[in-house]
Amino acid sequence: MKEDLQKAIKEALSSGKASAAVILLEKDEELMPKIVTSADDPAIDSLYAGDKRYPMASFVVMLQPVIEGNIAIPVRECDRRMLFELEKHNQIDPDRLVLLGTPCTQEVADACGCDHPFTENGISVAPTLASPAEPLPLPEALQSEDPDEKLAFWMGEFERCIKCYGCRNVCPMCFCNDCALDNLDLVNAASKPPEIPIFHLIRAVDMADRCVDCGMCEAICPAEIPLRHLYRQARQVVKDAFGYEPGVSEEKSPIEMLGEPSELAGMEEGFRTS
């Protein structure tokens, strides 16, 4: 796997298909990214190709404006979905990317509950290593129909939040220059721990038509808040209402477009809640 990735990166750089490549290096068990521009760069020999994940799609948003030519980037299937969604939001230029599809191992797939641990897009650097995993089970409180129990569950989880903004900072889909979480009229900057549930729900609303369910937010959360279930719930709302799935559906998000009258058909009874 490591040799395959090294070979693919060297080939992309030496053949001129890409003018730069993003690789990950591991130091003190932490990952850090590095940009290499030459196939002879010694850093390629020590690149990291293990199970730890890193939001690769964020680099594309950052690097494309400053690097001329194509960028080669190793992607997992979730990274590929992010790039697709970023393309729909006009954040990246897909023609200037060389995707190096890296398959996930079975351990990663099982830990993520991923039903698609390999990517068919781009250059595949290694054959499929994992079979689709079972989806992760819902917490018991969320299976109940009782609204009080659900609210109590979420408030209990949100209570642990230390307001580190890690979920936003790691998320490749959080590309807005002006973040609602930095808006002093919405979020009291001085309040630590944050005001709940607004702090988490603001992000949940924004993720409803963007989240590609990579689970990086939950993995990074120091308070272990089950954010993935929160954003999944939000995704499900959009899927039920509009049949739109971020990262999968070809069209642009319906709640970012004004739309056509036909889109509102059958929604009239949804307006009223009496």
Residues that bind another protein (CB under 8 A): 146-155, 180, 183, 185-186, 195-198, 201-202, 204-205, 208-209, 233-234, 236-238, 240-242, 254-255, 258-259, 261, 263-264, 267, 270-274
As measured in angstroms, the least distance from the Cβ of 270 to another protein is 5
Nearer to another protein, 130 or 198 (CB): 198
Q: CA-to-CA distance for 90 and 175, rounded, in angstroms?
A: 11
Q: CA-to-CA distance for 31 and 27, rounded, in angstroms?
A: 6
Helix ranges (H only) for the chain are 2-14, 56-63, 77-88, 106-112, 140-143, 147-158, 166-170, 198-207, 216-220, 227-242, 268-271
* Euclidean distance between the first and the last CA atom of the chain, given in angstroms as a whole number: 58
As measured in angstroms, the least distance from the Cβ of 143 to another protein is 12
Nearer to another protein, 85 or 209 (CB): 209
Reading the block at residue 22, the tokens are 């993003």
As measured in angstroms, the least distance from the Cβ of 211 to another protein is 12
Exposed/middle/buried for 76, CB within 10 Å: 0-12, 13-18, 19+? buried
As measured in angstroms, the least distance from the Cβ of 128 to another protein is 35
Nearer to another protein, 166 or 254 (CB): 254
Nearer to another protein, 54 or 231 (CB): 231
Q: CA-to-CA distance for 123 and 267, rounded, in angstroms?
A: 43
Nearer to another protein, 45 or 269 (CB): 269
As measured in angstroms, the least distance from the Cβ of 166 to another protein is 21
As measured in angstroms, the least distance from the Cβ of 221 to another protein is 18
Beta carbons within 8 Å of 130's beta carbon, 6+ residues apart: 103, 104, 105, 106, 108, 109, 117, 118
Nearer to another protein, 153 or 165 (CB): 153
Give φ, ψ of 16 to 5 degrees.
85, 5
